[in-house]
Amino acid sequence: MIQLTRLRHDDVFYVNPDLIERVDTHVDTVVRLTCGTEYVVEESGETILQRIAEFRAKVLALVPVAHAEFRDLLFELQDPEDRRPDEPTDSLEGGAR
C-alpha cells in the first residue's frame, strides 16, 4: 500500500498501487483506480510513481525470503519416506533444493 493525502482535506489514506489505472496531473493530481474511483491528492504524479516503485521494490525484496520459508515448510510437511536420498534432512543444510 502507498500513502496518499486528499487535497483540501489533509486526510491521509492508503491505496493498493495494483489498483491504480492512471494518474492525471493537469491542474490537480487525480488518481484513478481500475474500479472507477477517483481521488484528488496533494502528491505530484512523480511522487506517486516513486512511491509505487519503492513499494514494488520492497515486495520483490521479500520474494527470496518467502520462497525459502515456503520451501522449508513443504520440506517439513513431506513424509520422510518420500524424500530423495540426496536431500538433506535438516532444512538448513545443503542450500537450495
Task: Give the model confidence (pLDDT) of 20-44 as tens digits.
Answer: 999 999 999 999 999 999 999 999 9
- Asked if 18 and 31 touch (Cβ cutoff 8 Å), the reply is no
- Asked if 35 and 16 touch (Cβ cutoff 8 Å), the reply is no
Give me 67's grid cell.
Answer: 520462497
Domains along the chain?
A: 2-60 (2.40.50)
With a CB cutoff of 8 Å and minimum separation 6, the contacts of 18 are none
Distance CA 59, CA 39 (A): 24
pLDDT of 97 strictly over 50? no
pTM over 0.75: no
Residue 5 CA from chain centroid, whole number: 20
Q: What is the mean pLDDT of residues 59-79?
A: 87
pLDDT of 10 strictly over 80? yes
pLDDT of 19 strictly over 70? yes
Distance CA 88, CA 56 (A): 34
